[in-house]
Amino acid sequence: MSTPTMPITLSSPLSMYSIPAVWLTAFLPVTMKTILIQKSRGYNNLEPRQSTSRIATDKGLPSAVAARILRMEGAHLNGYENLPIWIAAVLAGHIAHLDNYTLNVASLLYIGGRIAYNYIYINQATEPQSWARSGVYFGSLSLPMYLLFKAAAKIAASEVVVPAVVVL
């Protein structure tokens, strides 16, 4: 006899899965960059961190391709720069016992924001598009801040007992 499964809803405990999903949004631009470099000039896996700077100074490569590669690198770095605050926000939310619905909605919005940010960043070609990218960035950044402040307020109100950290 099989065990009945519960349907997955926004009230299910899913937000921890957002951490690898957000990591993936940071990893995909560098993967796309590597593929584009390989197609354009050949990827040097012996010195992978030199590939982007080599492309940037390659006069034989169309400037639009070089600019796209640099934007992919920028999207990648921005994703990894923002990953720690997302991890902290999700973990703080769990420590403070924020409800799953709040954590899941924030997680879905943040993942969507990171995908939109990457898409705009990689494809932008005009000043207004760059401002749209910045708007998406700051809008998305409000989500981990919201979770951090909500968790801090709940802990400060003594609604949650936070386990002590033992330092040996």
Per-residue confidence in pLDDT tens, the chain, 168 aa: 666 677 888 778 899 999 999 999 999 999 999 999 999 888 777 787 788 888 878 888 999 999 999 999 999 999 999 999 999 999 999 999 999 999 999 999 999 999 999 999 999 999 999 999 999 999 999 999 999 999 999 999 976 666 666 555
- Domain-embedded: residue 1: no
Residue ranges making up the domain that contains 47 = 16-156
How many domains would you assign to the chain? Answer: 1
pTM higher than the cut 0.85: yes
**Residue 167 located in a structural domain:** no
147 neighbors 98 (Cβ within 8 angstroms): yes
For residues 51 and 54, what is the distance between their CA atoms, to the nearest angstrom? 5
CATH number where 72 lies = 1.20.120.550
Q: Which of 77, 84, 87, 116 has the alpha carbon at shortest distance from 19?
A: 87
Q: Confirm whether 65 is domain-assigned.
A: yes
